[in-house]
Chains A and B, each alone.
Chain A
Amino acid sequence: MTNSSTPPTSGSVRIGADVGGTFTDIVLERPDGTYASTKVLTTHDAPERAILDGLESLAAAESVALADVEQFIHGTTLATNALIERRGAHTALVTTEGFRDVIETRTESRFEQYDLNIVLPKPLIERRHRHTLSERRGARGDELIPFDEQGAAALIERIAGEGYESVAVGFLHSYVDGTNERRFRDLLLEALPDMSVSISCEVSPQMREYERFNTVCANAYVQPLMATYLVRLRDQLQERGVVAPLYLVHSGGGLMSVDSAAAFPVRLVESGPAGGAIFAADLAERYGRDRVFSFDMGGTTAKISLIDDSRPATAKTFEVDRTARFKKGSGMPISIPVIDMIEIGAGGGSIAHVDTLDQIRIGPHSAGSEPGPAAYSLGGEDATVTDANLQLGRLHPDTFGATDIDLSPQLATEALVRSVGERLGLDAMTAAVGVAEVVDENMANAARAHAVENGKNLGGYTMIAFGGGAPLHAARLMDKLGLDELIVPPGAGVGSAIGFLVAPFSYEAVRSFYTSTNDFDVVGSNRVLSELTDEAMAFVRQGTDTEVTVERQVSMRYAGQGWEIPVMLDADSSFDDFAAELLSAKFTKAYEEFFGRAIDDLAIETVSWSVRVSSVLPPRDRVSLASTVGEMLEPGGHRDAYDPVTGDVVPTGLFERTSLEPGVTIDGPAIIAEQQTTTVLASHHRCTMQPDRTLFITRRTEVSS
């Protein structure tokens, strides 16, 4: 069975496995569509071990035979971590003569204007392992210098002699014509048939040499590691009796085959967060919310993405390993289709400190899981966001997360005074209020900037909160952003892995192709679209033969601008002599949506084209959310907790999520605890338990905000 759109047959189950930096989450989808899940510690030396152990214990608990697993879907941060920790293969870069240093000189700029001691990221492949070959294509693919056959032979001999495990090939303008890259690969494989080779015209055929070369280097760097890991995992799953095929989640939020993933492992970067966005998108469709603000907060970072019409927005490039405060430009660019999200150094473990202006600052450093927040009693000295939440009464000391950790209020209080209070003359409670307010403001500010950059207005968005930390902060963030609805779904703690199970088979093929409305290349545009469609279709057909949708997009800008905006094209029609008028009209409309007004009489350029093919998922059963007042539930107990609306510490109702019946209503201030997270309501919030056990939170109308 390779068909994702067929409903599970009776008795068969599907598995989602998300390998993160700390935990490996396994989710099992039962035949009735409900989920069981487990969290185990990630086994860094052999990640498949944690997957298999978690899988077997979950299957046993559910009395499921591994042979009944119908589909196994996997996402992993392994490729990302290999890049960040520089644990990849011994890799050479072969590039055009004259351009040896493209990945080292980067953008020739400083990502931090006000730091004399700035340290720029080191190139993935150091200079001595970057080799050049005499060859050169022009911007139109014309041959300026022929491919040097003799030079290639000498270079291959050198590569063989130096014991490289992997080779990246990136030639100038290869996104227009990749003949020379392919030629070099063929020669290399002729001589060294077992060599891992990545060529930039296949990995990322997009204009801009720095980004493309860096992407092909990243692919080559992690390729041997990922290929062996994936084969190991596949074999061991089979040994344990899993006959279902293994699929991988890619950064664009779709599924790909093991073979594709092993060839293009750089597409697996960010697959975990992508799972979270798919999870939110699926809920958006189920609840009929066409504008959703996806908020995922864990121990180290928070991730926010905007989902319109149940489709997460994708970008064509992003940065991994931002070394300095998640600042733009401090990481390495990877040009692949990726779900567009912002990552903020704001998680439960983020450390609070006071800067030279006597301002409270949060992160980007995180106490991680070791030593963790001060309250973990593992030797952490610094106050973290979790310590503040404990101080504010939002967390129960004995029932924290999935772990066996008891929290120490005493240590949290001491750390808050030490890290923040002493310097500012604040008691622990006021310091905690400051820490919580600042972290919430940081997230709100980042979210607003993200919306502006995408030409969107946050009014009317519904927030969906998941990940261990999000429900603690979500209601406050909703207020700060002026949103009116918040959804905390069941299974919020393992959202990414659940997301894997609702992902379509999909592939987005992207290529740069430059033409202008002044002199539109009809034939060339049609050729590019058709080739991209074929490429994407071929990848999707490795996984499914169901019905597919084809989405075609072109990035355009006014001649003279440096930033493009996406324009959707019709699914299948081809361009004719009216193409320029058609595209101008579409672009003008899109530009007005972004910036409020278009500009007359300027030529418009196309920069890159993309085609996304995805399998059609069965329509979601719609669930309507109701905020009507049901039985008003009285709390099981009270605890003093800080209420940001009144600014007071007040007795706050305590609830167990598992004991809430559908239809009941809870008015804030309230704390709703569950195994992997805690949802906090301020005094003006109201929560209604939905039939599917989702928490639906709004502001009470009779109380002014």
Chain B
Amino acid sequence: MTQTIDTTETARTLHNQVMWNRLISVVEEQALALVRTAFSTSVREAGDLSAGVFDPDGRMIAQAVTGTPGHVNTMAAAVPHFINDIGPERIFPGDVYITNDPWKGTGHLHDITVCTPVFRPIAGDDGQETETLIGFFASTAHVVDIGGRGYGPDGKEVYEEGINIPIMKWVDRGTLNSDLVGIVRVNVRESDQVLGDIHGLAASNETGRRRLLDMLDEFAIDGLRDLATFVFDRTDAAMQQAIATVEPGVYRNEMVVDGYGEPVTLAVEITVTEDGMHADFTGTSPVCPLGINVPLGYAHAYFTYGMLVALAPELPNNYASLATFTVSAPDGVILNAKHPDPVAVRHVLGHFVTDLCLGAVAQAIPERIPAEGSGALWNFQASARSSDPMDPRPPVEILMFNSGGTGARPTLDGLTSTAFPSGVRTMSVEATEQVGPIVIWRKEIRPDSGGVGAQRGGLGQVIELGPTEGYRFDFSAMFDRIDHPARGRAGGGDGAPGAVYLDDGTPFAGKGRQVVPEERRLVLELPGGGGFGDPADRDPDDAEQDRIQGYVT
């Protein structure tokens, strides 16, 4: 006696679910391969990369969880540009495409996006098999160098920031574009590493392509269209439910940060409807002459990330979840920089967009939104140079990621010395000292830096560092929240502002090129996060712990 399981609707649903999970695992493998081979510190320590699979129309079906919020929808938006600019009639098996255009890719020239079409023999009505386009893989990674002035905010136009590769073929029907290889080779520093990373991007797409073809064979399906429809329908339904938890309306917020030279106002108006959320950045300060300007796509990414993390943390990123969130801004505001505005370090202001937008929706869902945090990272990026020109020593580039405190949550303290919204990890002090002529004398929690509240803001940290004998540091400071600390919420106090000075007391500017001479130490006091709720409501046991552990003196 044979009993047959319902093979219709429910079985197909289970089958689709299994394939969806498999697809996510395919792009996760694609991303892992990239992390392992990457030369750029920000890729391996900060996950400054992304990987995804797309349907033939360029709609993203799945994206690796490994990756940075800054690529959340910038890479997704790139693939339709590839299809359009290459031209559907010029897309062939064996092709690989490339670009680093900040406005078609992920916001600055240092991010290279590589896209690979996937073909599969599919039988037509006549039974003849033809190679048919079934989708794309794309991946993005931050490379070590892209030429120009080198990484920093000092370019006046994007032309100074490095080589710009418009969308073109890196590989044409199996043949590597050696002209482009040659051009990249002579235009960037560390060209072996940069070319190594581009090959790595192409190889990771290839890994994805092979795994996808295996998967389609195993499940005996032709292409991705039906699965994509399933994924988008499911996501869309869940997204609508998530949005429905926010009262429709218009919510505004403004945040002033230090900026470069003069304070920058970031302004947003978020309109919530039943279908989605729209952020408009009218009222934001104009672009500035330095490379802290942000292409709108990048601001879009940090808006989307903020909304996803607050409303729908379980939902995977794909075309349907990202389509829910739209943005607009007048031309020429600092969150809508246009070519040829300089954009190299767009992340400094970009990282504040998440707190800016969370602050707006906090009016609708106050029980879910944390206080403001330190936001932008306090990266220390320096060129170690011989302090005595008569005694030349090899120049060394140094990069350290450091984070202040995050904002207190409605029911939890903020996180101490932890990156948000960035996903950066810090590097080991010992490993940093092995590679460069630097001594880090102190890297420790900064007591009393968290905003007071029923929930305390996350603490910042204190870092003291200096060059080893024979060296000085030339560095471009990119530190914010010195004049404008993270604000508390719901009665909580502000986090402590940051401070930068030399150990002999010489004050340093938060932004701009400065020198740490030999035998001096630079002191960085990183800002804390804002507090949440009335300090009088703090649990006495928590207050006692703060004192015992020395978080509060």
A binds B: yes
A interface list, Cβ under 8 A from B: 97-102, 104-105, 107-110, 113-120, 126-128, 136, 138-139, 144, 172-173, 175, 207-210, 355-360, 424-427, 429-430, 433-434, 437-438, 441-442, 445, 448-449, 452-453, 482, 514, 558, 560-563, 594-597, 599-602, 640, 642, 647-651
The interface residues of chain A lying within 8 Å CB-to-CB of B313 are 114-116
A438 touches B1 (CB 8 A): no
Residues of B within 8 A of A599 (CB): 192-193, 196
Map CB proximity to A onto B424-462 as digits: 1 under 8 Å, 0 otherwise. 111011110110000101111100000000000000010
Query: Which chain B residues (284-334) contact chain A, with CB distance < 8 Å?
Result: 308-310, 312-315
Candidates A116, A117, A452; contact of B32 at CB < 8 Å: A452
Q: How far apart are B354's CB and chain A's nearest CB, in angstroms?
A: 11
Kindly state whether residue B38 has any CB partner on chain A within 8 Å: yes
Complex-state Cα separation, A169 to B120, whole angstroms: 60
The answer to whether A562 and B44 touch across the interface, beta carbons within 8 angstroms, is: yes
A595–B34 Cα distance when bound, in Å, is 10
Q: Is B96 an interface residue (CB 8 A)?
A: no
Q: Which single member of A172, A207, A648 contacts B2 (CB below 8 Å)?
A: A648
Binary CB contact string for chain B from 362 to 406 against chain A (1 if under 8 A, 0 otherwise): 000000111000000000000000000000000000000111000
**Extra 13 A-B pairs, beta carbons < 8 Å, given A438-B21, A448-B29:** A99-B443, A109-B424, A113-B69, A114-B308, A208-B430, A208-B431, A430-B10, A482-B218, A560-B39, A562-B44, A563-B35, A563-B44, A597-B203
Task: Given A209-B430, A356-B315, answer yes or no on A449-B32 (Cβ-Cβ < 8 Å).
Answer: yes
Q: Contacts of B25 on A, CB cut-off 8 Å?
A: 445, 448-449
Given that A108-B425, A356-B315 are contacting pairs, would A113 and B14 also be in contact in the complex, using a CB cutoff of 8 Å? no
Contact of B418 among A110, A175, A210, A356 (CB under 8 A): A110
Binds A, one of B474-482, B486-494, B544-552: B544-552
**Residue B235, interface by CB 8 Å:** yes
Q: Which residues of B contact A355 (CB under 8 A)?
A: 314
A104 / chain B contacts, CB cutoff of 8 Å: 416, 445
Q: Determine whether the beta carbon of A595 is less than 8 Å from that of B190.
A: no
Known: A99-B443, A117-B412, A452-B29. A649 touches B5 (CB 8 A): yes
Please give the residue numbers on chain B whose beta carbons come within 8 Å of chain A beta carbons, in ascending order. Answer: 1-7, 10-11, 13-14, 17-18, 20-22, 25, 28-29, 32-33, 35-39, 41, 44-45, 65, 69, 144, 190, 192-193, 196, 199-200, 203, 207, 211, 214, 218, 234-235, 238, 241-242, 308-310, 312-315, 368-370, 401-403, 409, 411-412, 415-420, 423-426, 428-431, 433-434, 439, 441-445, 461, 464, 468, 548-551
Using Cβ atoms and an 8 Å threshold, which residues of chain A touch B203? Answer: 595-597
Nearest A residue to B550 by beta-carbon distance? A127
B192 touches A640 (CB 8 A): no
Q: Determine the chain A residues whose CB is within 8 A of the CB of B429 once the complex forms.
A: 99, 172, 209
Q: Which residue of A lies closest to B46 (CB)?
A: A109
Q: When the two chains form their complex, are residues A356 and B425 in contact, meaning their CB atoms are under 8 A apart?
A: no
Determine the distance from Cα of A101 to Cα of B551 in the docked complex, in whole angstroms: 11
Q: Which residues of B contact A426 (CB under 8 A)?
A: 10
Min CB gap A247→B, angstroms: 34
- Whether A430 contacts B14 by the Cβ 8 Å rule is yes
CB–CB B5/A108 < 8 A:
no
Q: Is the CB of A98 within 8 A of B3?
A: no
Contacting A437 at CB < 8 Å: which of B3, B18, B32, B315?
A: B18
Give the Cβ gap from B249 to chain A, nearest Cβ, in Å: 22
- A441 touching B18, Cβ below 8 Å: yes
Q: Which residues of B contact A97 (CB under 8 A)?
A: 442
Contact (A445, B21) CB under 8 Å given A110-B415, A173-B433, A208-B428:
yes
> Among the listed A107, A114, A126, A138, which residue makes an inter-chain contact with B439, where contact means beta carbons less than 8 Å apart?
A138
CB closest chain-B residue, reference A100: B444
Query: Counting chain A CB atoms within 10 Å of each CB, which of B20, B39, B41, B412 scores highest?
Result: B39
CB distance from A354 to the nearest CB of B (A): 10
Q: Is the Cβ of B430 less than 8 Å from the Cβ of A601?
A: no
In-complex Cβ contact of A562 among B41, B144, B308, B424 (8 A): B41
B321 shortest CB reach to chain A, Å:
10
CA A301 to CA B504, docked complex, whole Å: 56
- Cα–Cα distance between A442 and B17 once the two chains are bound (Å): 12
Residues of A within 8 Å of B441, CB to CB, are: 98, 136
Can you list 10 A-B contacts (CB < 8 A)? A102-B443, A175-B430, A209-B428, A357-B315, A430-B14, A445-B28, A448-B25, A452-B29, A558-B39, A649-B2
Q: Which of A110, A114, A127, A448 contacts B419 (CB 8 A)?
A: A110
